[in-house]
Amino acid sequence: MSNLTHEESIKKVWKVCYILAFVTIFEIAAALLHYYQMPESPKWWLNILFVVLSAAKAYYIMSEFMHLKYELRTMTLTIITPFLFLVWGIIAFLWEGGYWLSLRQLWQ
């Protein structure tokens, strides 16, 4: 991105902003559609959609604004790998918390 002129850089930033805004508007539209048109449908598909789109937006932001797309592969892996371990840890703690909640309800 350092080889771009000032005008090209501005166009690139606006392009990224438009893409992120479109994905965000899609997320909001999906939530409103679920809330008003399909309130009895299961919510898990909406949650999966939000997680996937949020992860895609996070990756796109990191690749463009943190310039990970233009870095060496090893540099990218040193940033992405801890992020994946963090996501794995959150999922593991939620899974374990659900198990303890079910045991607590069983005991009472």
Do residues 1 and 9 make contact, with C-beta atoms less than 8 angstroms apart? yes
Question: CA 42 to CA 46: how far, in whole Å?
Answer: 8
Q: Which two tokens stand for residue 38?
A: 């399909």
52-108: pLDDT as tens digits: 999 889 888 888 877 777 777 777 778 778 888 998 999 999 999 988 888 888 888
pLDDT over 60 (residue 26): yes
pLDDT over 80 (residue 17): yes
Say how many C-beta atoms besides its own lie within 10 A of residue 76's C-beta. 16
* pTM tops 0.85, yes or no: no
8-state DSSP, 32: H
